[in-house]
Chains A and B, each alone.
Chain A
Amino acid sequence: MDVSVLDRLKWLQQQQMVSPDFLQILGSDGREELKRVESYLGNNNDHELQSFRHFPEFGPDYDTIDGCISRTSSFQMESVKNNEDNRAIALQNKRKPEGKTEKREKKKIKAEDETESSMKDKSNMSNTETSLEIQKPDYIHVRARRGEATDRHSLAERARREKISKKMKCLQDIVPGCNKVTGKAGMLDEIINYVQSLQQQVEFLSMKLSVINPELESQIDELSAKQFQAYFTSLPEAVSKQSMMADFRSFPLHQQGSLDYSVINSYQTTKDETSSSWENQSQCLYNSLRTDSVSNFFSLK
């Protein structure tokens, strides 16, 4: 049917905010033009979209593509709308191909009904806001299981809860001993205890440091690679590195810490080099401390 192509165009355009000119071209048959659209979609044509920002609210009269475009292009967030009829139609369409095992419902928005709805759904907006990671508006696909409520608020809540449980699972990897405890409450307990113990450790160590601090300066000059590594004997690689480190000479350092692996020369005496060698020691040791969970969390925002 013709509607399907149109649907797809509108959906695409919603997703990536094509300017109206292009979609006018795509009036009749959009298959070939779609590719052009997709190639165009690389740019963020914000300057073109600026003109649409002051568009007035739409009534139910707007059925044209223009109305649809300008509506979605002006407000990224508000492009996601939900309508009761919309979902009903979606449900009807879905029920036929799918088996009758479970009632399923998706929070996907169909473009044809979008122009009819002039109301903004705020719960949806907040949902999409939280789910937006990139500039493109993203849909939230929430599966409603059999017998569960399917209104917007509970869906939004469920999505939020799923996010939180996802993060809890990530935390399980980081905090040791979390695997044995099940349930959110127990895990939260473990995490709280762990953070508290870490903070207490830091405080204790800093207290210790303050006691021995006067001797720090003289001691730091005598740092040797082997002593530092002996602490990390839990890492198998560190032990093997010891013999290697003693044999190599250190590279000339242009900046502090600029070298990844410059072996510490225990015969170095200048203060600058020892302080940088200190950092280099920690660097080469932390090469082996790579874990996936760490990189996950350091890239999380």
Chain B
Amino acid sequence: MERQIINKKKRVFSLEPNKNPSAVFTRKYTRHLVPALKKLNMNKNSSQTNQQTVKHEVDMALALSAQEFAWSRFLLQKLSSSKNPTTTTSSSSNRIRILERSGKEGGDEDGEIEKKLKELQKLLPGGEEMSVEEMLSEIGNYIKCLELQTIALKSIVQETT
């Protein structure tokens, strides 16, 4: 029976670990996060899990699974220095500010672009210490890692509900 199924769908599977960067990242991420969450559960049996500690674990998992990038080093520094990390998301007021600025096209264009680059630098962990060119390349892989992180988190959440 199994042989029939195998013959119908002929696929080649490799036993090597997948080197696709998205898969590598997700693998590392889940490997870091899931045990960390379990540990949190075990340590705080009675008290409720603090949202900040969970966020801390989430960010830590992100930083640990993307260690080839510069921003992850900065993120790790931030996390290890403070137990209560500053939230990485900028407030919604920032968003509104940007939209307003883009409305007025007057003034020097280059100055606006400079401002926006600085905003972007603030979003990236360690972005302010990098040059603009470096920051732009780091932003690309930071975005990808964030996307993969959200997918992983969504699936974890969905599994447990």
- Known A174-B143, A217-B41, A279-B30: A212·B161 in contact at CB below 8 Å: yes
Identity of the chain A residue whose Cβ is nearest the Cβ of B68 in the assembled complex:
A298
| Contact B146–A202 (Cβ < 8 Å) | yes
Q: Which B residues are CB-close (under 8 A) to A194?
A: 143
Return the contact of B117 from the options A130, A186, A188, A231 (Cβ within 8 A). A188
Residue A295 is within 8 A (CB to CB) of chain B in the complex: yes
Segment 13-62 of B: residues with Cβ below 8 Å from A: 13-18, 20-23, 26-27, 30-31, 34-35, 37-38, 40-41, 48-51, 53-55, 58
Q: Which B residues are CB-close (under 8 A) to A167?
A: 133, 136-137, 140
In the assembled complex, the Cα of A197 lies from the Cα of B106 at a distance in Å of 27
Minimal beta-carbon separation of B70 from chain A (angstroms): 9
Q: Which A residues are CB-close (under 8 A) to B27?
A: 257, 279, 282-283
Return the contact of A206 from the options B58, B117, B119 (Cβ within 8 A). B58
Return the contact of A260 from the options B18, B99, B113 (Cβ within 8 A). B18
Q: Which A residues are CB-close (under 8 A) to B14?
A: 260-261
| Contact A283–B18 (Cβ < 8 Å) | yes
In the assembled complex, the Cα of A123 lies from the Cα of B5 at a distance in Å of 67
| Contact A298–B146 (Cβ < 8 Å) | no
Segment 255-280 of A: residues with Cβ below 8 Å from B: 256-261, 275, 278-279
Residue A209 is within 8 A (CB to CB) of chain B in the complex: yes
Return the contact of A213 from the options B21, B54, B117, B133 (Cβ within 8 A). B54
Minimal beta-carbon separation of A102 from chain B (angstroms): 26
Interface residue ranges, A against B (CB under 8 Å): 130, 160, 163-164, 167-168, 170-171, 174-175, 184-186, 188-189, 191-196, 198-203, 205-210, 212-217, 219-220, 223, 227-228, 231, 244, 247, 251, 256-261, 275, 278-279, 282-284, 286-287, 289-290, 293-298, 300-301
Residue B94 is within 8 A (CB to CB) of chain A in the complex: yes
In the assembled complex, the Cα of A260 lies from the Cα of B35 at a distance in Å of 21
Q: Which B residues are CB-close (under 8 A) to A287?
A: 18, 20, 23
Residue B81 is within 8 A (CB to CB) of chain A in the complex: no
Identity of the chain B residue whose Cβ is nearest the Cβ of A279 in the assembled complex:
B27
| Contact A213–B49 (Cβ < 8 Å) | yes
Question: How many Cβ-Cβ contacts under 8 Å join chain A to chain B?
Answer: 214
Identity of the chain B residue whose Cβ is nearest the Cβ of A260 in the assembled complex:
B18
Mark contacts of B140-161 with chain A using CB atoms, 8 A cut-off: 1 yes-contact digit, 0 otherwise.
1111101101101111111111
| Contact A294–B21 (Cβ < 8 Å) | yes
Residue B89 is within 8 A (CB to CB) of chain A in the complex: yes
| Contact B17–A259 (Cβ < 8 Å) | yes
Q: Which A residues are CB-close (under 8 A) to B5?
A: 244, 247
| Contact B113–A185 (Cβ < 8 Å) | yes
| Contact A210–B41 (Cβ < 8 Å) | no
Known contacts A198-B147, A279-B27, A289-B20; 17 further A-B pairs (Cβ under 8 A): A168-B136, A188-B116, A194-B143, A199-B90, A203-B88, A205-B154, A205-B157, A210-B50, A217-B41, A219-B159, A220-B160, A260-B13, A282-B30, A283-B18, A287-B23, A289-B22, A298-B141
| Contact A199–B141 (Cβ < 8 Å) | no
Minimal beta-carbon separation of A255 from chain B (angstroms): 9
